[in-house]
Homo-oligomer: A and B are copies of this chain.
Amino acid sequence: MDKDKIHQLRQEVYTHLTEELLPFWTTRCIDQHNGGYITHFDQHGHDTGEDEKSLIAQTRCLYTFASAHRAGYGNGELADLARHGADYLLERMWDPEHAGFYWMTNRRGEVLIDEKIVYGHSFAIYALSEYTLATGDQRGIDYAGKVFDLLQRNATDTHYGGYFEMFHRDWTLKGPGPAGGDRKTLDVHMHLMEAYTTLYVCTGQEVHRRKLLEVIELLVRKIMHPQYGTGIPQFRPDWQVAPQIKFDIIWGWDRFTEDGVKHEAEDNTSYGHNAEFAWLLIHALEVLGISYSTYKDQLIKSFNHAADNGVDWEFGGVFVEGSHAGAVYDREKEFWQQAEVLIGFLDAYRFLGDEKFARAYENVHRFVFDKMILHHIGEWWPLMNREGTGPIWTHMSHSWKINYHTVRSMIQVVKRLDGLL
Contacts and interface: CB of A to CB of B under 8 A. Distances in A.
B217 A153 contact: no
A381 interface: no
A218 B158 contact: yes
Interface string A175-216: 000000000000000000000000000000011001100110
A113 to B, nearest CB: 20
Contacts of A162: 158
A156 interface: yes
Contacts of A163: 158
A157 B207 contact: no
A65 B171 CA distance: 34
A219 to B, nearest CB: 10
Contacts of A170: 206
Nearest to A207: B154
A173 interface: yes
A218 B237 CA distance: 13
Interface of A: 148-149, 152-154, 156-163, 170-173, 206-207, 210-211, 214-215, 217-218, 221
A211 to B, nearest CB: 6
Contacts of A153: 148-149, 152-153, 207
Contacts of A148: 153
Contacts of A206: 170-173
A210 B173 contact: yes
Contact of A159 (B171, B172, B214): B214
Contacts of A160: 161
24 contacts: A148-B153, A149-B149, A149-B153, A152-B152, A152-B156, A153-B153, A154-B207, A156-B156, A156-B158, A157-B158, A157-B161, A157-B214, A158-B161, A158-B214, A158-B215, A158-B218, A159-B161, A159-B214, A159-B221, A161-B161, A171-B206, A172-B206, A172-B207, A173-B206
Given A158-B211, A172-B206, 13 more contacts: A148-B153, A152-B152, A153-B153, A156-B158, A158-B162, A158-B218, A159-B218, A159-B221, A160-B161, A161-B161, A170-B206, A173-B206, A173-B210
Contacts of A207: 153-154, 171-172
A173 B207 CA distance: 8
A76 to B, nearest CB: 36
A397 B89 CA distance: 55
A159 to B, nearest CB: 4
Nearest to A216: B159
A173 B206 CA distance: 8
B159 A217 contact: yes
Q: What 6 A-B pairs have minimum CB-CB distances, sorted nearest first?
A: A159-B214, A172-B206, A152-B153, A158-B214, A161-B161, A159-B217
Contacts of A158: 152, 156-157, 161-163, 211, 214-215, 218
A40 B373 CA distance: 77
A262 B170 CA distance: 46
Contacts of A157: 158, 161, 214
A230 to B, nearest CB: 20
Contacts of A171: 206-207
Nearest to A173: B210
A163 B217 CA distance: 16
Contacts of A211: 158
A100 to B, nearest CB: 13
Nearest to A154: B207
A235 to B, nearest CB: 14
Contacts of A156: 152, 156, 158
A211 B172 CA distance: 12
A256 B362 CA distance: 65
Nearest to A171: B207
Nearest to A217: B159
Nearest to A215: B158
Contacts of A215: 158-159
A172 B217 CA distance: 19
